[in-house]
Structure 1
Amino acid sequence: MVLLIAVQPKIRFFLEMASKSKTFVTPLIRHVTTRGYAQAAPGVKREPKVSCAVLPNKTFVAALDNGSPVTRVTVAFKAGTRYEPQTELGIAHVLRSAAGLSTRNANSFIMARKLAQIGASVTASGDREFVYYTLETTQDNVDEAVEILTNMVCCQEFRPWELSDNNARLKFDIAALPPQIRAVDLLHKAAYRRGLGNSLFISPKRIGKISSESLQHYSCNLLAAPRCAVAVVGDSQERANMIAQNLNLTAGDTQTGEASKFHGGELRKEMGGDLAHVALAVPGAPAGSTQALALAVAAKALGNGPVTKWGTDNSPLAKAIGNVGPFAAAGFSVSYSDSGLFGVVLSVPKDEASAAVKAVGGLLKKPTLNDAAIKAGKNQLKLEILNEADAGTSLAECLAAQGLYTGSIKTPADLAKEVDAVSPSDVSKVLSAAAGNKVAMGAAGNLAFVPYVDEL
């Protein structure tokens, strides 16, 4: 999801933030690859039914039958960048970018043509924990579309000449990265070093160095049944079970990835320009915990820019930064299976960077939120969670992520009720616990006046 944060008419910044109810279960940035088309279809009104199960092969399966005219199917795997071998960094980026290339049963042109004919689309995306393959299709074309999705997921061949042709796409992905995303990526590297610190994007020097054999080995080990979740929105649990069983996944590898340890520190990338983009964070909470939910509320309470277009930002974050010229700042909380980050992303003119970054650092070390700010944060978080019910693709990926994180699912309405139950004392407790830790920083842009982390 992309949030537009406007503080002055002359400046706009785009910050890629956690997606809706995945604010506290899904990482901050994801790379998305889309292929296909879509078409309208009549809907059938029925009462939503939510169900989940674990198949004998340990694949998690969930379904939300809400009568939608469009069926969304997400197949997710624990194959994100944290599982990359240190000798093959960037392989997860290549894997998701290669979605839709030729398989054992059909080449890329045939699959794209079939998707176009039935008005379906397939999206490949990924974060530090998971890789998602999401299908959108009309109710009457589910069987044919799922067959194509199964080919893309389970039958890829990674032909060397196609991977070579795909290098230009990888270069474009990297060249198109906003500096705010680079700052957040550097923040993770500084905070975790390895594992969760692995970049979401391949290094330019590594493009063309990932072999077909490496991709086959990575996918065979990690795109496996015990590491898989299948979520369906707009169809029944029986349909979800059938899709999961037809994937014919192997047992794969049982590796859990390197345990995450927050180290703190900083990484900086000098890129020039007139702006400095800085991400600051302290340790957060793991996904599914009550602390993660309280931190998600706190992140909204800190501030996400003005509520109305061109309006005044009266959030605690904006007040702490003060009158330092036009800037954009937003709080965030991101959670993983065993760790998390709570912090702020800031974009500010280079000459004002010193005062602004020190103000944000001081706020993270001694956060103070009154009841009014916490109430506003709860309302903003609930709004995002409930809006997700209208975005079927995001909802399907959210259900799959919940299944892999916790082994169960909660609807957006359930999550909104849990947000309501968060008290100001809960938020104060988690903020006090987080404030006593080291601060990690990632910075990109013109860093001439950006202070070092030990100067905060």
Structure 2
Amino acid sequence: MSSKSIATPLLRQITTRGYAQAAPARKDVRIQSSVLPNKIIVAGVDNGSPITRVTVAFKAGSRYEPQTELGLSHALRSAAGLTTKNASAFMISRKLAQLGATFNASGDREFIYYTIEATQENVDEAIQYLNNLISNQEFRPWELSDNTPRLKFDIASLPPQVRAVDLLHRAAYRRGLGNSIFIAPKKIGKISSESLQHFASSTLQPGRCAVAVVGDSKDKAAMLAQALQLPSGSEAQSAASNYFGGELRKEMGGDLAHVALALQGAPAGSKQSLALAVAAKALGNGPVTKWGADNTPLGKAIGNIGPFAAAGFNVSYSDNGLFGVVLSVPKDEAAAAVKAAAQCLKNTNLSGDAIKAGKNQLKLQVLSEVDCNGQLTESIAAQALYTGNAKSPVEIAAEIDQLSNSDVSQALTSASKCKMSMGAAGNLAFVPYVDEL
């Protein structure tokens, strides 16, 4: 063990110097977008990456699930990559492996994202398989039955903080945006192939689709968009999700309480949403150095109560949003910590230094997407479906710079007038109820 600890830094230094070269000039990340005659929005940016990433996004998130068939969205993204009308799951997996390509499906309350990654020389062939995986889905009952262990694992591996945020959405919106991203355990194995096929046919449609490409021009996105064979007909509808405010708790035992508190936020693409995103970073996101003290406004408000974790967050959807904090604290300290976090969330007088720090941290997060092309393609596709256009991380960072302290204060004042919502999971013996905050 001692020889390894001595050798590792030396080897790292040798390889770093031995393969050192001038860094290639990064291309200007300028996003080009348009709407095709078939109503599919396409966007692309050639940033000089040797890897091309293509994301096809649909308005097929959990908010579009009928109340009698909750869990369809989770089942749909979990079934991505199974046998299609033209090829078996084994053949698709083998061919993508031979190309050195990877495929994955992810989703949230608004969208489902199908993403493929491949090298420049193999991307055209990889796109054909992506087209097949989207256009020719065929949900066979025996394959859905074989897929139940994956769904069970998804549910069993959920962190308690994610459960708290999920409960928060249900308490805040009840239905629509309140629908859980995850299938209920009692529904696993109960969703029929007919129900899943109907949901896919009503949500995976051209007017609900955006194609984003990073590492190539938008022409590549247009080529895929024109090749997609998507159904047309009646679309899944979702009424506007009104913010009600409320509380849901899930007692899970253990030594910790995980609590998510939120006020009503703002829709995606609005100036107020951007201001609340700055405010969420300004409230705090934990220590900025390893083992360091949490000197953020949120950390100071909670005080010295023992080990805890707390962070502000802001999520925006097409017609609404949530601005809040999520914290994990020892069960015995939960009462004081949750009340302090609630008071901090209602505070509309953030200092200029805190807002400045929040803007810098948010810009860092946004600009980091340039180096993580997987996140960038999903971000571009989501923007296209939200607003019909897509902005580059550099453009968004410029908008953050233009926000004034008064913009952030006004957004906080507007949010503080709303009823508070809470989702809690873990040992809740000492967690106060929302009407006690």
Q: Which has the larger radius of gyration?
A: 2
State the alpha-carbon separation in 2 of the partners of residues 367 and 179 from structure 1: 29
CA distance in 2, matches of 1:149, 1:421: 39
Counterpart of 1:323, as a letter, is N
Q: Which of residues 238, 245, 249 is equivalent to 1:257? A: 238
Q: Is the 8 A contact 1:232 1:396 kept in 2?
A: yes
Q: Deviations over 1:266-319 (max 9, x none)?
A: 000000000000000000000000000000000000000011111111000011
Could you tell me which residue of structure 2 aligns to residue 245 of structure 1? 226
RMSD, matched Cα: 1.2
Q: What CA distance in whole angstroms lies between the structure 2 residues aligned with 1:423 and 1:204? A: 46
Conserved in 1, the CA contact under 8 Å of 2:38 and 2:206?
A: yes
1:82–1:258 Cα contact (<8 Å) kept: no
Contact 1:183 1:444 in 2 (8 A): yes
Which residue, 145, 165, 168 being the options, matches 1:164? 145
CA distance in 2, matches of 1:48, 1:379: 20
2:88 matched residue in structure 1: 107
Contact 1:44 1:69 in 2 (8 A): no
Deviations 1:238-274 (A, max 9, x none): 2111110001222243444121111111000000000
Equivalent in the alignment of 2:381: 400
1:447 aligns with 2:428: yes
Q: Which amino acid aligns with 1:233?
A: V
Contact 1:120 1:138 survives alignment (8 Å): yes
1:55 aligns with 2:36: yes
Q: Distance in 1 between matches of 2:133 and 2:229?
A: 13
What amino acid is aligned across from residue 282 of structure 1 in structure 2?
L
State how far apart, in whole Å, the 1-side matches of 2:25 and 2:336 are: 56
Match of 1:386 in 2: 367
Match of 2:349 in 1: 368
Indicate the larger mover: 237-246 or 281-290: 237-246
Counterpart check, 1:233 vs 2:214: yes
What secondary structure, in the 3-state scheme, does the structure 1 residue paired with 2:31 have? strand
Moved more, 361-370 or 313-322: 361-370
**Bigger fraction of residues in helix:** 2
> Is the alpha carbon distance of 1:222 and 1:428 closer, same or farther for their aligned partners in structure 2, counting shifts above 3 Å?
same
Counterpart mapping for 1:293-442 below 5 A:
293-442=274-423
- CA–CA distance in structure 1, aligned partners of residues 91 and 30 of structure 2: 35
- What's the CA shift string for 1:52-74, capped at 9, x where partnerless? 01011111000101121110000
Aligned with residue 127 of structure 2, among 146, 154, 174: 146
Q: Work out which of the residue numbers 180, 201, 211 in structure 2 matches 1:220.
A: 201
Larger relative strand fraction: 1
Q: Check whether the contact 2:29–2:392 (CA below 8 A) recurs between aligned residues.
A: no
TM-score, length-scaled by structure 1: 0.89
Kindly indicate whether the alpha-carbon contact (under 8 Å) linking 1:44 and 1:68 is maintained by their aligned counterparts in 2.
no
Partner SS, residue 86 of structure 1: coil
- Separation (CA, whole Å) in 2 of partners of 1:87 and 1:360: 36
1:401 Cα offset (Å): 0.2
Q: Does 1:124 align with 2:105?
A: yes
CA distance in 2, matches of 1:376, 1:47: 26
Q: Would you say 1:190 and 2:171 are equivalent positions? A: yes
Q: Which runs of 5+ in 2 are unaligned?
A: 1-23
Of residues 85, 89, 94, the one that matches 2:66 is: 85
Q: Does the CA-based 8 Å contact 1:75-1:133 persist in structure 2?
A: yes
Specify the code of the residue in structure 2 equivalent to 1:336.
Answer: Y
